[in-house]
């Protein structure tokens, strides 16, 4: 039995599925990853200059402009076959989707209640209170960045988790709970270098789950996987769903 049919068989048998996605699934939609040697955003910009609280305090205008560029890139991208396949998987089985991605491609594809561990790029929040700032305020108060309506010392900032910041506690709690309750866990397009997200498959395995990795490149998780599908998710996931139907 090849890897696609083996994956399909496990998905059919599953009662609860946990899916962890990383930058690789969005790269298939043309969004540059942070760590790929050729296309990396970090290859052109240092993360300490753009994605830390210290960077924002030092040069908020630079950070704001860079994230405006990133938002434009994401807005121009479209969900791909892998995003759509995960929506279909959720129709067939009880599925919890946890993503490290800050784009909205899962949601635009139709995924509901995705757990966004690293925040959301299209959200804007107050740098002091972390309260959301709506689009009308931003339109009426231009700036690089605009002032915050929520605090006299606050500025508008992207609603993402920067290096050195804690993950949202509620999102992490929900992800950990899903890992302890699933019987199948999929890691899709994640480099498995960023914790605590990279620890979710191992947590699921310790609670008895079967683990499949879908990634063209090996990662630190590869040796622990029960099944490795070394293909892009946009090919592997639709193929697995088709094989499910054939069985």
Residue 28 scores a pLDDT above 80: yes
pLDDT of residue 125: 97
Mean pLDDT of the region 180-188: 98
Same domain for 37 and 89, yes or no, is no
Residue 194 scores a pLDDT above 90: no
pLDDT in tens, 198-229: 999 999 999 999 999 999 999 999 999 999 99
Task: Give the closest residue to 27 by CA, choosing from 131, 86, 103.
Answer: 103
pLDDT in tens, 120-177: 999 999 999 999 999 999 999 989 999 999 999 999 999 999 988 999 999 999 999 9
The tally of domains found in the chain comes to 2
Mean pLDDT of the region 73-102: 97
Give Cα 192 to chain centroid, integer Å: 12
Q: Are strands 227-229 and 210-214 parallel, antiparallel or unpaired?
A: parallel
Same domain for 43 and 72, yes or no, is yes
Confidence label for 41 from pLDDT (cuts 50, 70 and 90): low
pLDDT of residue 37: 42
Q: What is the CATH number of the domain that holds 220?
A: 3.40.50.1220
* H/E segment holding residue 37: none
Same domain for 12 and 128, yes or no, is no
Cα Dmax for the chain? 63
Assign 217 to helix, strand or coil: coil
134, 160, 186 - which closes a domain: 160
- Note the pTM of the prediction, 2 decimals: 0.91
Same domain for 66 and 148, yes or no, is yes
Residue 40 scores a pLDDT above 70: no
Residue 246 scores a pLDDT above 80: no
In the chain, the percentage of residues whose pLDDT exceeds 90 is 84
Structural domain range at position 1: 1-31+79-118+167-247
Out of 83, 106, 118, 151, the active site residue is 118
Mean pLDDT of the region 8-29: 96
> Among this protein's residues, is 118 annotated catalytic?
yes
Same domain for 141 and 197, yes or no, is no
Task: Give the closest residue to 154 by CA, choosing from 164, 141, 166, 169.
Answer: 141
Q: How many helices, marked H, and strands, marked E, lie in the chain?
A: 11, 8
Whole-number Å distance between alpha carbons of 114 and 219: 23
Q: What is the CATH number of the domain that holds 156?
A: 3.30.1600.10
Same domain for 186 and 201, yes or no, is yes
Same domain for 182 and 113, yes or no, is yes
Mean pLDDT of the region 116-123: 96
């Amino acid at each position: 039995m090849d890897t696609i049919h083996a994956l399909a068989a496990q998905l059919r048998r599953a009662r609860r599925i946990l899916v962890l996605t990383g930058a690789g699934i969005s790269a298939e939609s043309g969004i540059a990853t942070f760590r790929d040697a050729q296309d990396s955003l970090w290859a052109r910009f240092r993360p300490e200059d753009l994605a830390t609280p210290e960077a924002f305090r030092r040069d908020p205008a630079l950070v704001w402009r860079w994230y405006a560029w990133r938002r434009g890139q994401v807005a121009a991208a479209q969900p791909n076959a892998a995003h759509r396949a995960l929506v279909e998987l959720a129709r067939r089985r009880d599925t919890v989707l946890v993503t490290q991605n800050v784009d909205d491609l899962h949601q635009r594809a139709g995924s509901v209640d995705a757990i966004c561990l690293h925040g959301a790029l299209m959200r804007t929040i107050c740098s002091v209170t972390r309260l959301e700032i709506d689009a009308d305020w931003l339109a009426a108060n231009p700036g690089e960045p605009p002032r915050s309506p929520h605090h006299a010392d606050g500025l508008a900032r992207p609603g993402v988790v920067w290096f050195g910041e804690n993950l949202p506690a509620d999102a992490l709690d929900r992800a950990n709970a899903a890992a302890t309750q699933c019987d199948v866990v999929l890691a899709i397009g994640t480099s498995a270098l960023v914790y605590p997200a990279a620890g979710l498959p191992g947590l699921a395995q310790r609670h008895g789950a079967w683990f499949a990795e879908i990634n063209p490149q090996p990662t630190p998780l590869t040796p622990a996987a029960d099944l490795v599908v070394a293909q892009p998710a946009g090919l592997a996931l639709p193929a697995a769903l088709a094989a499910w139907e054939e069985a």
